[in-house]
Structure 1
Amino acid sequence: MASPWLEFEPYGAASLDSVDIQKFIRAKLPVGPVPAIPEIRLHRAGPSSGLWRLAEADDQGFGSPYWAYCWAGGLALARHILNRPQTVAGRRVLDLGAGSGIVGIAATKAGAGAVMAAEVDRYAIEALKLNAAANGVALEAIHADLTAGPPPAVDMVAVGDLFYDQSLAERVTAFLDRCLDAGIEVLIGDPWRAWLPRSRLRVIAEYSVSDMGVAETGDIRPSAVFAFERL
């Protein structure tokens, strides 16, 4: 019997381009409705997805495939935006650290004027492009670390689950301060992770959603949507 991985096995880091990555995602990460957000469908990893094959094919650093799973902060933020479309309607929105693109997709579905989805991981970029197509929406995928520079020309920045690491949280917080200085509204979705800047936050809404992992095994935990405010 031919190996189901045969068509992927020859790829090396030099040849693993966006077409190859999208081919893998289409074949091994099936599209399905998101827990608690049936309006959105995503390519998500399961027990037999074989993400390790992508890691083997990329000797330049695969990283953690967070983009292939649902995270509580992103789920809460996407649910909130769909419940209250007036939050983004007609506005230019940046989905920072977009991962699967779920927040940007929700914003587009809710009537945002334009959506930018920024990611540093090239696998996430390809996944969010496929996810946008699966939901029939158009957004601008940006492969860059925007936290190192000035904020883009947007009206709102939406941040889901970027406070799990201290150095990342500090860098994101500094960027969000620059956003506030530029008159940009900031919304954060997070299940109260360790490095959340709690003194800067005002709770807008709370949701019970599954956290990182497939729906069948993800823990249900409270996650909040916050407004990020000046000290």
Structure 2
Amino acid sequence: MAPVAFVPEIQLYQADEATALWHLTEATLDRADMPPPFWAFAWAGGQGLARYILDHPEAVKAKRVLDFASGSGLVAIAAAKSGALSVEAVDIDPFAVAAIFLNAEVNEATIHARHDDVIGIPAGDFDVLLAGDVFYDSGFAARLMPWFAALSEAGVTVIAGDPDRTYRPVASVRELALYEVPVHLALEDAAMKRVRVLRFESLQTALPGGRGFA
């Protein structure tokens, strides 16, 4: 357990190396199809988004927050610390859900963690959706873009933290902040990553014929 580099107000159980942990998990459970342990690290996009939420608590204060693809729970913890009315963290990896519970307890944050795929659910139970570092894959980004845009049209505030991934949105988003975030060299190709905090604005140009990505 250690403070997060760019968000030292928050402590997380963190791994030093991804591959060894991945192999250990597969060997322990006797499974060869385990997803990578994304939950064991503070990724650049999540660090930038958590920093923004802590510095701008009005974004979540007294609001119902959904932290999508929560991983370690870093962003959800930042929202809880910033006065959110409620925080739900969701991830498709059950190990992430366990990590979120542990990290929330260490930080004395009240968070409901859930193992679920929520892509496509309509607005209704949350006022703010937070997403850290989710545009790393073309297929995944293509699923997210119209959903995020539709939520924005329905009145949900959708805010993402992205370290200039290949499939990041470039249309219908407003840049709220830009940070230089230190990251683990085992995870990235540089010791510092530029992270943009983006708010989705409109459905109209979110995904016109495949555009809307960098």
Same fold (TM over 0.5): yes
Greater shift, 142-151 or 96-105, is seen at 142-151
| 1:129 match | 101
| 1:38 match | 8
- 1:68 counterpart = 2:40: yes
Tell me which of 61, 78, 86 is aligned to 1:106.
78
Cα distance in 2, alignment partners of residues 149 and 60 from structure 1: 31
- Equivalent residues in 2 for 1:199-218 (5 A)? 199-211=171-183
CA positional deviation for 1:213:
5.4
Cα distance in 2, alignment partners of residues 44 and 155 from structure 1: 30
For normalisation by structure 2, the TM-score amounts to 0.87
Amino acid aligned to 1:85:
P
Amino acid aligned to 2:116:
A
- 1:117 counterpart = 2:89: yes
CA positional deviation for 1:178:
2.6
Cα distance in 2, alignment partners of residues 103 and 34 from structure 1: 11
| 1:54 match | 25
Tell me which of 92, 116, 132 is aligned to 2:64.
92
Deviations along 1:18-50, one digit per CA (max 9) or x if unpaired, are xxxxxxxxxxxxx11000211100000014994
| 1:12 match | none
Structure 2, unmatched stretches of 5+, are 206-214
CA positional deviation for 1:183:
1.1
Aligned length: 200
Secondary structure of the corresponding residue to residue 119 of structure 2: helix
Structure 1, unmatched stretches of 5+, are 1-30
Deviations along 1:172-229, one digit per CA (max 9) or x if unpaired, are 11221231232101101001111112112211111111235579x9621211111111
Greater shift, 143-152 or 200-209, is seen at 143-152
Cα distance in 2, alignment partners of residues 83 and 172 from structure 1: 26
| 1:27 match | none
Cα distance in 1, alignment partners of residues 194 and 164 from structure 2: 8
Taking a change above 3 Å as real, the CA distance of residues 85 and 36 of structure 1, as seen in their structure-2 partners, is same
Task: Give the 4+ runs in structure 1 shifted more than 6 A.
Answer: none
Contact 2:63 2:86 in 1 (8 A): yes
Taking a change above 3 Å as real, the CA distance of residues 37 and 201 of structure 1, as seen in their structure-2 partners, is same
Contact 2:18 2:37 in 1 (8 A): no
For normalisation by structure 1, the TM-score amounts to 0.81
Taking a change above 3 Å as real, the CA distance of residues 132 and 152 of structure 1, as seen in their structure-2 partners, is farther
Cα distance in 2, alignment partners of residues 45 and 152 from structure 1: 36
Secondary structure of the corresponding residue to residue 147 of structure 1: coil
Tell me which of 149, 158, 169 is aligned to 2:121.
149
Taking a change above 3 Å as real, the CA distance of residues 201 and 61 of structure 1, as seen in their structure-2 partners, is same
| 1:177 match | 149
Taking a change above 3 Å as real, the CA distance of residues 48 and 222 of structure 1, as seen in their structure-2 partners, is closer
- Equivalent residues in 2 for 1:1-40 (5 A)? 31-40=1-10
Secondary structure of the corresponding residue to residue 127 of structure 1: helix
Cα distance in 1, alignment partners of residues 114 and 15 from structure 2: 23
CA positional deviation for 1:153:
1.0
| 1:23 match | none
Contact 1:129 1:141 in 2 (8 A): yes
